[in-house]
Amino acid sequence: MVYHIKKNKNLQIMNKRKTIESWNLYVITDENLSKGRSHLEIAKSVIAGGAEVIQLRDKTASSQKLYHIGLDLRKLTRENRVSFIVNDRLDIALAVEADGLHIGQSDLPVHIARQLIGHNKILGVSASSLQEALEAEKHGADYLGVGPIFEARGTKGDAGIPLGLSLIPEIQKNSKLPQVAIGGINSQNVPEVIKAGAIAVAVISAIVAQEDIQMATRQLRKTIRMTKEQCE
């Protein structure tokens, strides 16, 4: 029995890692920056543009509203085989059967979040230092949201001081976890982020705040993939 439990756990970890390694562009929804477009409208456009991951992030919506938004996004992402992550809200992530949860340093402890969501769900953790990255890995994170890399203007008010690119290779040397870089990333600076070692980039305003979300998504994803090909 113990053998089968361990085998299933290892298989779940391998499947999650395979999914994460397929990511290039991770888009975080934000209605405050979207020129009146809803979370669902944003998601439809970024999926059409080729994003592999969508994170639902809304700090102001009621639990009931967020639940219904999450259900719509779960249906859409499942139909299109896109990963669906919920920011902060473990209850919503479980209720809508999201693919995973992303938490920050001030949210639930990583080991508690892991216990509650189980081993079949993806768990991402924000890290702005090597120590935070190693703690997240130790307690069960599947990937790291590393940043802010550059100055994040007009998005998260609590983004913090830009860290630059040096943290990415530092973490890469000391941790096996894949890194999703975040913070002020756009089509101009994304090549250097990928070259530094990030497996994917997470963006908000670089896509959500643009007039043509689908086109912005397509162009940024193309730049990421071209850079990865050059690095091979």
37-46: per-residue pLDDT in tens?
A: 999 999 999 9
**Exposure string over 138-173, b if 16+ CB within 10 A, otherwise e:** ebbbbbbbbbbbbebeebbeebeeebebebbebbbe
Question: How many CA atoms lie within 13 Å of 13's alpha carbon, on the beta-carbon side?
Answer: 14
Per-residue pLDDT tens digits for 176-186: 999 999 999 99
Neighbours of 9 (CB within 10 A): 13
pLDDT for 12: 73
Token look-up 């991402």 returns 124
Position 159 scores a pLDDT of 61
For the chain, give the mean pLDDT: 93
Which is it for the CA torsion 133, 139, 142, 148, positive or negative? negative
Higher pLDDT, 176 or 9: 176
> Which CATH superfamily, name and number, covers 2-231?
Aldolase class I (3.20.20.70)
Q: Taking 70 as the threshold, does the pLDDT of residue 110 lie above it?
A: yes
CB 199 within 8 Å of CB 169: no
Residue spans per domain, the chain: 2-231
Asked whether residue 22 carries a pLDDT value surpassing 80, the answer given is yes
Is it the case that residue 195 has pLDDT exceeding 60? yes
For residue range 164-174, what is the model confidence (pLDDT) as tens digits? 999 999 999 99
State residue 14's pLDDT score: 83
Q: Is the pLDDT of residue 157 over 90?
A: no
- pLDDT-derived band at 75 (thresholds 50, 70, 90) equals very high
Which residue, among 26, 30, 63, has the nearest Cα to 217 in the 3D structure?
26
Q: Is the pLDDT of residue 60 over 90?
A: yes
Local confidence band at 13 (pLDDT 50, 70, 90 cut-offs): confident
Residue 117: Cβ within 10 Å count: 20
- DSSP code for 226: H
Q: Is the pLDDT of residue 2 over 70?
A: no
What is the set of active-site residues?
57, 126, 156
Model pLDDT, residue 145: 98
Give the rounded percent of residues in the chain with a pLDDT score beyond 90: 86
pLDDT tops 60 at residue 156 = no
138/208 Cα distance (integer angstroms)? 33
